[in-house]
Structure 1
Amino acid sequence: MPEIASLADIARVHRELRPDAPALIAGDRTVTYAEFDARTSQVAQAMRAAGVRRGDRAAFLDKNSIEFFEVMFGLAKLGAIGVPLNWRLAAPELAQILADAGVRVIVVGAEFADRIEAALDAPADRITTVAAVVAIGEHPRRPRYDDWLAAHPPTDPGERPAPDDVAVLAYTSGTTGTPKGVMLTHTNYLSKARRILGHWRFRDDTVSLAVMPLFHQAGFGWAMIGLYVGCPTVVLRDVDPVAVLDSIERHRVTGMLVVPAVIQMLLRTPELDSVDLSSLRTLVYGASPISEDVLVKAMQRFDCEFLGVYGMTESTGSITQLDGADHDPVGRPGLLRSCGRPYPWVEVRVVGPDGRDVPDGEVGELWTRSAQNMAGYWNNPAATAAAITPDGWLRTGDAGRRDADGYLYLYDRVKDMIVSGAENVYPAEVENVLMSHPAVADVAVIGVPDERWGEAVKAIVVAAPGTAPTEAELIAFARTRLAGYKLPKSIDFVTELPRNPSGKLLKRQLREPYWKNVDRRIH
């Protein structure tokens, strides 16, 4: 196969190798690799006409669609940077990202057009770079995406991004409540893609299903591997368990990556009893906790190979894998609690507070080093320096241990991040919002066990003197300021929060009653 040196080359190479083969399938629409290459070239030309140049940023906001891939790979043909936006975010959160990234063009689905308009109505000194907003579907004022493309030829602009050029700016919430842009390069993506094919069981006859949100590594990171290989990728707009099962049967899907919450949904779906799953060979899971009970039931019902993975946005997704042979509930049940071993091209250390490796069996912070490590955080050298050591080790913020055979086991977050249905929620962000309510004197936000989502957000509130706020009142207040997945699912009221003599909240003490006798696993 000709060399693929950038994301742009994925479209270019497969136009030559398999022009008539299906690249993307969404609903009744199928796009061949020749059509995909032409459409991405049209995107590149349209972006260039809008003023996007090498290194500039353009954003995409919509649920999963073929247009997402056209935009992201079209930008790569310009050497520009794609900014996939989390469609769950509220307008103020989107405004913060658009301003920080200096976005020049926004492509937005009709469902989220009003939210983008609200974000752009933020103070003029915040967002000054946006030159064009393009709508997928009908919009009273904005150009339609298809018309926008039709005005430009399918001529490849011919830009060749350098391996270390940033391809994607993926925003993740920060512990201070400020989103951080993770700079992922062409090398980050392709160094993984070249090596992981066998580990994820991609073959010439693979049919891949992309169901997780594409703004996540669990979504785009998986789908990109299918395009790199040149296989068909079936794209589902949303996580709908019936649609997942129907797609497996209709398209003879052989592999997919999902989070544990989706596995639970599928197990509870009545249609599971009648659907033909015989084509499914590989089910990759990760990104959030999974119970052994759910895992074993899923292995029995889906009757395919299960692969558990662990990673983070900053490491371009998965860096460890619990292989199929390791899923042995009878012979080695303890391994089901593991997130596996590092890939051969990935280094992992377990590090103590003094910066030295701890012995096998002891808990420390996981550090990783590989070509998958991000280039850093956008416009944030201090955060970059805090996350990446001078010799290239990425501090994951996750606590775990390694056994004598090299298997890793995760225990808890070094920080207080909550993982709810594969979405990262930082308590400080939720706490800052609740503290702005006049009836809240003090608040702590923690993650508590949730059967469906792995963890749910809980707020523990001390009411201001003379007030009596209700749970519904505070959640409604937060709803206008936070994405839905960050909202507290429940609120407890207490007279005071436990703190140490220096005033630091004792969150572990708050969590203990909820996690007692619960096997808390983090992937």
Structure 2
Amino acid sequence: MTTISSVIRTHAADRPDAVALVCGDQSLTWAQLHARSNRVADALRKAGVGFGDRVGFLDKNCNEYFELLFAAAKLGAVLVAVNFRLTAREVGFIVNDAEARVFVVGAEFMPLVAELAGALETVQTLVVIGGDASQQSYAAWRDAGADVDPGVAPTGSDVAFQFYSSGTTGNPKGVLLSHDNVFGLLPTSAKMWGVTGDSVNLVALPLFHVGGGGWAMVGMFHGCKSVVVRDVDPTGIIKLIGAHRVTHAFLVPVLLHFMQQVPAAATGDFSSVELVVYGASPISEPVLAGAVRLMGCKFAQAYGLTETTGAIVTLPPEDHDPQGPHRHRLRAAGKPHEGVELKIVGPDTGAELPVGVPGEIWTRSSQNMLGYWRNAQGTASSVTGDGWLKTGDIGYFDDDGYLYIHDRVKDMIISGGENIYPAEVENVLMKHPSVADVAVIGIPSDVWGESPFAVVVARPGATVEPQELQAFARQHLAKFKVPVGVSVVAALPRTPTGKLLKRELRAPFWQGRERAVS
């Protein structure tokens, strides 16, 4: 198996009656998933989708996502899953930027899509999962297709996924990941994480995120059963783990924190769990220690980016002993995977730095993205001519080769696993008539890791009311991007050339902490 389409074709032939997916009360065998994706592929073809075309998807996690993913792959097309937490404006930008010909939407998100009436420039076919009186039903649209594999075979260099990652200019960027990128990681997952065809894999992160869609492919590659979580609820996840005898899961730290707080934690059955991989944001030692006590299984940390097709560094289970001689390694990201090159360079010079000296983390491997969708300038600024990807994170190595994340070159805020780029929030707040200047920074949060916070300067003669400004932001931004607090100051600190000194704004909030990320 070397492509997404070969995964479904292989398992449908080798284990047709084994359960591939469970979501709620719906389950699909590999044979059923293969047949459904054939029908969807035919429906997509009839809608004009061909090799290289994009198909938009807006819904929470569901089995239909995988029907579409494999259907698109069988045509050489690409599924573009959109963050369902975004506003209508943000969704519209992504769908138009991807030039999606077909847009599949969950019924609960149709009010949002209604706000985009006439604004979707390339969409020719709109299909609704769950039914909508004004649009064609996904089930009927799918079932009208022929159960015939179109037989298209993408190559390793063709695009497999197009995940959107917010950009520092305020507009999201489409990260192009090839089949080769994806399969640079999948074959090593058995050795690193112990996933096999007999595993039961919990898919809890949103599928529009590489931690969701990418982790799902780990289980799919091995042909095991995947338990798909539609609504992220700590109590519900605890019950799913026991009911389906889950063996493997990828969870974000904030969810591990919440799982320890609910009453179901006391009675949950975690006896089947072999390994929990966590990542997408840093974890605190108390949360990790509590999770280990609660679940009694092995834990591994994964570090990576959308641009690196997910994990490129792992902190293995043996380094997760809070009482052991290497307790300090709990603050490490881990060691690079086999075939992954890492180096620490001076952010200004590009020269490689010695052990223990913080600098920007650069990486080179078969998992590095092809580039950004129709954004040559963004690609050139992120990837060097000899293939090194600039992560934007600052870190250092210790004498044993462990990578530690120290800070960020870019101003990105990671809140509960979601990337928030201050420029996007700042652009919105600057539209408020009372705001003359603004800086958005990340401040520590015991729950989310970091939260956005706005420091603003009022226009002469105007007054900025923090709650009113937050309400204004909620009209234009997804909820997780809205600043949790607002501070009004006389002026923002800047260099003589006008560059904003965000470190000075962040410093009071992070004072006394070991590092400048949570």
Q: TM-score range by the shorter chain?
A: over 0.9
- 1:248 is aligned to 2:241: yes
Query: 1:507 maps to what in 2?
Result: 502
Question: Equivalent of 1:34, from 14, 31, 34?
Answer: 31
Question: Equivalent of 2:338, from 344, 357, 365?
Answer: 344
Please list the CA deviations of residues 135-171 of structure 1 after superposition, one character each: whole Å capped at 9, or x if unmatched.
Answer: 0012122110000011111110000011111111111
Distance 1:28 1:346 in 2: 40
Question: Equivalent of 1:482, from 474, 477, 485?
Answer: 477
Question: What are the equivalent positions in structure 2 for 1:315-354 lying under 5 Å apart?
Answer: 315-330=308-323, 331-352=325-346, 353-354=348-349
Question: Equivalent of 2:380, from 378, 385, 388?
Answer: 385
Question: Equivalent of 2:122, from 129, 136, 143?
Answer: 129
- 1:269 is aligned to 2:262: yes
Distance 1:292 1:521 in 2: 16
1:270 CA displacement: 1.1
Distance 1:62 1:519 in 2: 39
**8 A Cα contact 1:19 1:32, kept in partner:** yes
Query: 2:110 maps to what in 1?
Result: 113
Please list the CA deviations of residues 417-436 of structure 1 after superposition, one character each: whole Å capped at 9, or x if unmatched.
Answer: 00000100011110110001
Distance 1:522 1:153, change over 3 A: farther
- SS of the equivalent of 1:153 reads coil
Distance 1:87 1:401 in 2: 35
- SS of the equivalent of 2:31 reads helix
- 1:410 is aligned to 2:383: no
TM-score (norm 1): 0.97
Query: 1:22 maps to what in 2?
Result: 19
**8 A Cα contact 1:366 1:396, kept in partner:** yes
- SS of the equivalent of 1:275 reads coil
- SS of the equivalent of 1:339 reads coil
Question: Equivalent of 2:460, from 465, 469, 478?
Answer: 465
- 1:197 is aligned to 2:194: no
Query: 1:419 maps to what in 2?
Result: 414
**8 A Cα contact 1:341 1:406, kept in partner:** yes
- 1:79 is aligned to 2:76: yes
Distance 2:442 2:2 in 1: 41
- 1:224 is aligned to 2:217: yes
Question: What are the equivalent positions in structure 2 for 1:347-366 lying under 5 Å apart?
Answer: 347-352=341-346, 353-366=348-361
Count of aligned residue pairs for this structure pair: 516
1:61 alignment partner AA: L
1:5 CA displacement: 2.3
1:197 CA displacement: 2.1
Distance 1:203 1:72 in 2: 22
1:36 alignment partner AA: L
1:78 alignment partner AA: L
- 1:286 is aligned to 2:276: no
**8 A Cα contact 2:88 2:113, kept in partner:** yes
1:207 alignment partner AA: V
Q: What RMSD, in angstroms, separates the aligned Cα atoms of the two structures? A: 1.1
1:60 alignment partner AA: F
Question: Equivalent of 2:288, from 291, 295, 302?
Answer: 295
Distance 1:5 1:501 in 2: 53
- SS of the equivalent of 1:24 reads strand
- 1:432 is aligned to 2:427: yes
1:520 CA displacement: 4.1
Distance 1:23 1:522 in 2: 38
- SS of the equivalent of 1:449 reads strand
Question: Equivalent of 1:156, from 131, 149, 159?
Answer: 149
**8 A Cα contact 1:291 1:521, kept in partner:** no
Percent of aligned pairs sharing the same letter: 49
1:120 CA displacement: 4.2
1:380 alignment partner AA: N
2:195 alignment partner AA: F
- 1:58 is aligned to 2:55: yes
1:509 CA displacement: 0.6
Distance 2:138 2:32 in 1: 16
- SS of the equivalent of 1:299 reads helix
Distance 1:322 1:175 in 2: 29
**8 A Cα contact 2:199 2:246, kept in partner:** yes
**8 A Cα contact 2:76 2:154, kept in partner:** yes
Query: 2:85 maps to what in 1?
Result: 88
Distance 1:130 1:220 in 2: 23
Distance 2:117 2:400 in 1: 53
2:341 alignment partner AA: E
- Which stretches in structure 2 are left out of the alignment for 5+ residues? none
Distance 1:374 1:166, change over 3 A: same
Distance 1:521 1:274, change over 3 A: farther
TM-score (norm 2): 0.98
Distance 2:91 2:501 in 1: 32
Distance 1:403 1:469 in 2: 46
